[in-house]
Amino acid sequence: MKFELAPTGTATLLEQLSDFIPDGFINELVAVRGGRGRRRHWPSAQLYRLLLLTLLTPAHSFNLMLHLLPEQRSWRKFAHVPNRYRLPVASPLHDFRAALGVAGWRRVNQFLLAPLLETLSPDRQAVGLIDATDLPAATSADKKS
Amino acid sequence: MGSKKHTLRVWLQACASQVLLVPLGSWAAPANRGESLFLWPSLQYCQQRLDWLPDIVVGAMGYSSLEQQRQIRERLGRTMLTKLRSDMNLVPPFEPGPVAVCPQGQVLSWLGWEARDQLHWFGVTAAEPLCAQCWEQSRCARQFSYAPAAHEILFGQIPLASAVAKTLLEKVRPWIEPAQAYEKNQLGPNQMFRNSLQFTWAACLLADAAVLLRAHAMLMRPTHTPWLQALLPNQLPLELD
Question: Would an 8 Å CB–CB cutoff place A51 in contact with chain B?
Answer: yes
Nearest CA in chain B to A136: B2
Among A112-126, B46-60, B87-101, B168-182, name the one with the lowest average pLDDT: B87-101
pLDDT exceeds cutoff 80 at B223: no
Q: Let me know: does B77 contact B57? Beta carbons within 8 Å.
A: no
Interchain contact A1–B (C-beta under 8 A): no
* Percent helix, percent strand, percent coil in chain A, to nearest 5: 50, 5, 45
B199 vs B238, which has greater pLDDT?
B199
> Which is nearest to B154 in space by CA: B188, B122, B127?
B122
pLDDT given for residue A108 in this prediction: 95
For residue A105, the chain B residues in CB contact (below 8 A) are: 201-202, 205-206, 209
Long-range contacts of A73-78 (CB under 8 A, 24+ apart): A74/A11, A74/A14, A74/A15, A75/A11, A75/A14, A77/A14, A77/A15, A77/A18, A78/A14, A78/A15, A78/A17, A78/A18, A78/A49, A78/A52, A78/A53
Banded pLDDT at A140 (limits 50, 70, 90): low
CA-based nearest residue to A77, from A44, A32, A46, A31: A46
> Where do the H-state alpha helices sit in B20-65?
39-45
Determine the average pLDDT of the residues in B132-140: 82
| Residues A128, B210: C-beta atoms closer than 8 Å | no
CB pairs under 8 A between A and B: 193
Residue to mutate among B167, B186, B216, B220, with most A CBs inside 10 A, is: B216
Å from B181 to nearest chain A CA?
9
Range B107-117 average pLDDT: 84
Contact B6, B23 (CB under 8 A): no
CA A84 from chain center: how many Å?
A: 20
How does pLDDT run across B145-159, given as a tens digit for each residue? 888 887 888 888 888
When scoring A57, A118, A133, A140 by the number of chain B Cβ atoms within 10 A, the one with the most, hence best to mutate, is A133
pLDDT of B121 strictly over 60: yes
Contact A46, A80 (CB under 8 A): yes
Residue B88 and residue A48: Cα distance in Å, rounded? Answer: 47
The Cα angle at residue B38 between residues B36 and B42, in degrees rounded to 5:
140
| Mean pLDDT confidence for B174-189 | 86
Query: Which pLDDT belongs to residue B209?
Result: 95
Q: Which residue of B lies nearest to A12 if distances are taken between CA atoms?
A: B217
Residue B143's beta-bridge partner residues?
Answer: B123
B163 confidence band (pLDDT: 50, 70, 90): confident
Quote the pLDDT of residue B158: 86
Lowest mean per-residue pLDDT among A32-36, A113-117, B86-90: A32-36
Please state, as a whole number, how many other Cβ atoms lie within 10 Å of the Cβ of residue A120.
Answer: 18
Residue B104 gets the label, from left (phi > 0), alpha (psi -120 to 50) or beta, of: alpha
Strand residue runs (E) in B13-59? 20-30, 56-59
Cis peptide before B93 (omega within 30 of 0): yes
For B8, which residue in chain A has the nearest alpha carbon? A130
Distance CA A134, CA A128 (A): 20
The percent of residues in chain A predicted with pLDDT above 70, rounded, is: 87
Question: Of the candidates B21, B206, B217, which has its C-beta nearest A129's C-beta?
Answer: B21
pTM for the structure as a whole: 0.84
A142 has pLDDT over 60: no
Judge whether residue A38 has pLDDT over 90.
no
Cβ pair B220:A20 closer than 8 A:
yes
Q: So what's the pLDDT on residue B226?
A: 66
* β-bridge pairing B56-59 and B79-81: parallel
| Cβ within 8 Å, pair B201-A105 | yes
> Rounded to whole angstroms, how far apart are CA atoms B97 and B42?
30
**What local confidence, expressed as pLDDT, does residue B225 receive?**
63
Distances (CA, A) of B131 to A91, B94, B96, B139: 77, 18, 21, 11
Contact A20 B50 (CB under 8 A): no
Select from A15, A130, A139 the residue whose CB has the most chain B CBs within 10 Å, as the one to mutate to test that interface: A130
Number of residues in chain A: 145
Instruction: Flag if A133 and B184 touch (Cβ within 8 Å).
Output: yes
CB B123, CB B143: distance < 8 Å: yes
pLDDT exceeding 90 applies to what percent of chain B?
18
Q: Say yes or no to pLDDT of B51 above 60.
A: yes
Interface check for A17 against chain B (CB to CB < 8 A): the answer is yes
Chain A residues with beta carbon closer than 8 angstroms to that of B200:
135
**ipTM score of complex:** 0.90
Interchain pair B11, A129: CB under 8 A: yes
A143 pLDDT higher than 60: no
Cα–Cα distance measured from residue A128 to residue B22, given in angstroms and rounded to the nearest whole number: 9
Any B CB within 8 A of A128 CB: yes
Residue of A nearest to B181 (CA): A133
Looking only at the bridges linking them, the beta strands covering B56-59 and A127-135 are parallel
> Phi and psi of B150, rounded to 5°?
-60, -35
Residue among A112, A129, A138 minimizing CB distance to B176: A129
Q: Which pLDDT score is estimated for B132?
A: 80
Indicate if the pLDDT at residue B8 is higher than 90.
yes
Of residues B231 and B223, which shows the higher confidence score? B231
